[in-house]
């Protein structure tokens, strides 16, 4: 059985409208997760180690104030389009659209005020919570009124996140959750002792602004071959990598399939990622720099967390040979990602 509780988490600043932000707590025997109505943010996620004790394994803040200031998308749902769009530009049916540039020369994670920074309308379910919002035509430069539903459900050790959307004009869409994980417990110094594997035969090389070059490169014989579990710290050293911030190309299946696994041998905690999405962005917290004070007043230094963001390929709207990122009127965008937690 999953328990669902709701409570007030805080109030938005006056200049943001002053609305109440709620927190929803989902609890099973092995997982406890807290989700905010602001940005559908996963603000806490506790799982058991092999010792049977719970630890919070996601980065974030104790209070709403942390989430209303600038932060690196901790735990949030990002959109309309996750990841980067080159020069913030794209064309649909010959019409050019220009987005806000918030990541050097590019647009990142929906722009200046993306889905992570807005309040969603919640509906409690027997085993979870469904959030809804209407993203109006022209919001952040995107075309069409877009209705979006994000549903979190918890069953035993499995947290499912379902994303649905409908539009009245052709628009690009790619939704993901940007949780930062450390299976040793949030606030632990680094993730070098984590074992990671990703079921991908190819990945997308990027230019110096992190935009895919267009090449779909084989992982074979490179530092991007994560098909067998690697110990992260040793692997980064061996291949002289500063970290990962790359899209791995998954098999194009509409059905659920396992795509990645992270394990922390000292605590026995493991997390498997299953999805219907065509890509997964593996990010190792390269831009964390210890300047943010998180939960329990701990700081989050570089490489103190990882993200496994299931999504469409970055800049797909400008790359015809990438999986299509366009949603047409009359169609429905519908993807699910499952996070399966265990300890051994």
Per-residue pLDDT tens digits for 240-274: 999 999 999 998 878 999 999 999 999 999 999 99
> Which of the residues 109, 178, 235, 335 is marked catalytic?
178
**Is the pTM above the cut of 0.95?**
yes
Single out the catalytic residue among 22, 34, 140, 309. 309
Distance CA 215, CA 226 (A): 19
Binding-site members for beta-D-galactose are: 83-84, 178-180, 245
Fold of 3-194+283-343: Beta-galactosidase; Chain A, domain 5 (2.70.98)
Please provide the average confidence, as pLDDT, over all residues in the chain.
97
Q: Residues marked as binding?
A: 83-84, 178-180, 245
pLDDT tens per residue, range 32-53: 999 999 999 999 999 999 999 9
Cβ neighbours around 151 below 10 Å, total: 18
Q: What confidence score (pLDDT) does residue 125 get? A: 98
Q: What share of the chain is helix, strand, coil (3-state, %, to 5)?
A: 10, 45, 50
pLDDT tier for residue 16 given thresholds of 50, 70 and 90: confident
What order of strands is seen across the sheet that includes strand 54-56?
Answer: 3-11, 20-27, 31-36, 42-48, 54-56
For the chain, domain boundaries: 3-194+283-343
Query: What are 143-172's pLDDT values in tens digits?
Result: 999 999 999 999 999 999 999 999 999 999
Active site residue 178: yes
Q: How confident is the model at residue 89 (pLDDT cuts 50, 70, 90)?
A: very high
At residue 206, the pLDDT reads: 96
């Amino acid at each position: 059985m999953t328990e669902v509780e709701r409570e007030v988490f805080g109030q938005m600043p006056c200049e943001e409208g002053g609305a109440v932000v709620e927190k929803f707590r989902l609890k099973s025997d092995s997982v406890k997760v807290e989700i905010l109505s602001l940005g559908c943010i996963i603000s806490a996620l506790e799982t058991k180690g092999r010792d049977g004790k719970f630890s919070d394994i996601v980065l974030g803040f104790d209070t709403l104030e942390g989430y209303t200031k600038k932060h690196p998308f901790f735990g949030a749902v990002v959109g309309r389009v996750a990841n980067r769009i080159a020069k913030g530009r794209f064309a649909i049916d010959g019409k050019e659209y220009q987005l806000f540039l918030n990541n050097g020369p590019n647009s990142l994670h929906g722009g200046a005020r993306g889905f992570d920074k807005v309040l969603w309308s919640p509906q409690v379910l027997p085993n979870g919570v469904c959030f809804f919002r209407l993203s109006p035509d022209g919001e952040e430069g995107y075309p069409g009124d877009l209705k979006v539903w994000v549903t979190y459900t918890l069953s035993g050790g499995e947290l499912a996140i379902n994303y649905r959307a409908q539009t009245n004009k052709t628009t690009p869409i790619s939704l993901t959750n940007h949780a930062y994980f450390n299976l040793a417990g949030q606030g632990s110094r680094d993730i070098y002792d984590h074992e990671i594997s990703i079921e991908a035969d190819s990945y997308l090389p990027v230019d110096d602004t992190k935009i895919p070059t267009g090449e779909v490169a084989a992982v074979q014989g490179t530092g991007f071959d994560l098909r067998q579990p690697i110990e992260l710290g040793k692997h980064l050293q061996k291949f002289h990598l500063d970290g990962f911030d790359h899209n791995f190309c998954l098999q194009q299946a509409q059905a659920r399939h396992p795509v990645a696994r992270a394990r922390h041998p000292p605590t026995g905690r493991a997390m498997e990622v299953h999805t219907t999405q065509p890509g997964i962005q593996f990010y190792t917290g390269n831009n964390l720099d210890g300047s943010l004070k998180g939960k329990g007043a701990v700081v989050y230094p570089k490489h103190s967390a990882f993200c496994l963001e299931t999504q469409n390929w970055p800049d797909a709207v400008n790359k015809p040979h990438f999986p299509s990122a366009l949603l047409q009127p009359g169609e429905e965008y519908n993807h699910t990602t499952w996070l399966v937690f265990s300890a051994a």
